Amino acid sequence: MSHFPRIFLEYLRKNIIQYVLLSIILIAGIIVGSFTVNMISDIQRESILSLISGFLANISNISINNSSVFYLSLSNNFKTAIALILFGLSVVGLPFILVLIFFRGFVLGFTVGFLIEQLGPKGIVLSALSILPQNIIILPCILSIGVTSLTFAAAVIKNKIKNHHEVYSQMVVGYLLLNLFFSFLLIISGLIEGYISPVFIKFYSKHLNF
């Protein structure tokens, strides 16, 4: 275990360009998503706001099934992780890695942008309580899985072009093990989203005057 930080830092150093690239794409998705809030119709805006306000106004009386929220979070994030991994394995799916990272940023940007636009300071607080905690883990993990997928696909293409005969099965095992580690961290984010964020939301909803 004492070697893990050093190995991980070396991994980051070797793949810094990929991390920067995907981070830019993620941020671009967040920005586009936040601007898209201004493009939805008034009817759509009022419908979404009504759902959010109704939920927050009655959250103290609602019995939240934490395990269901946990499994839903896990399902959504694992679907993204598995898709990225499969895109990396297929090689030809490499462009879709970029699209999927952008889409995750878009959804996050739209959600946070909508809350802030409609609720102002209350929206900032709500975003910090309901969205930020789990995404502190989710975003780095999704980015890291995206990076390993890009790196793996690029390595396969490079080996074919240069006619290298590296054992493909060994490459795949290493690729899957590394992504397994990042995917495991998504379980922690699911626990936060399922069991911690709802507590924060319930506590602070009493002070937001919904």
The pLDDT of residue 155 is 85
The pLDDT of residue 85 is 94
The pLDDT of residue 209 is 59
**How far apart, in whole angstroms, are the C-alpha atoms of residue 65 and residue 70?**
9
Residue 14 lies in a domain: yes
Residue 210 lies in a domain: no
Residue 24 lies in a domain: yes
For the chain, how far is it from start to end, CA to CA, in angstroms? 48
**How far apart, in whole angstroms, are the C-alpha atoms of residue 194 and residue 125?**
18
- Total tally of structural domains belonging to the chain: 1
Residue 155 lies in a domain: yes
Pick out the chain residues at pLDDT < 70: 1-5, 60-61, 163-166, 207-210
21-70 pLDDT, tens digit per residue, is 999 999 999 999 999 998 988 888 888 888 887 777 777 667 778 899 89
Residue 53 lies in a domain: yes
The pLDDT of residue 103 is 96
Any idea which residue has 């493009």 for tokens? 39
Any idea which residue has 């030809």 for tokens? 92
The pLDDT of residue 163 is 67
pTM: 0.88
Amino acid at 37: V
Q: What domain range is 79 assigned to?
A: 4-205
CB distance 31 to 107 below 8 Å? no
**How far apart, in whole angstroms, are the C-alpha atoms of residue 62 and residue 8?**
43
Per the rule left: phi > 0, alpha: psi between -120 and 50, beta: everything else, 120 is: left
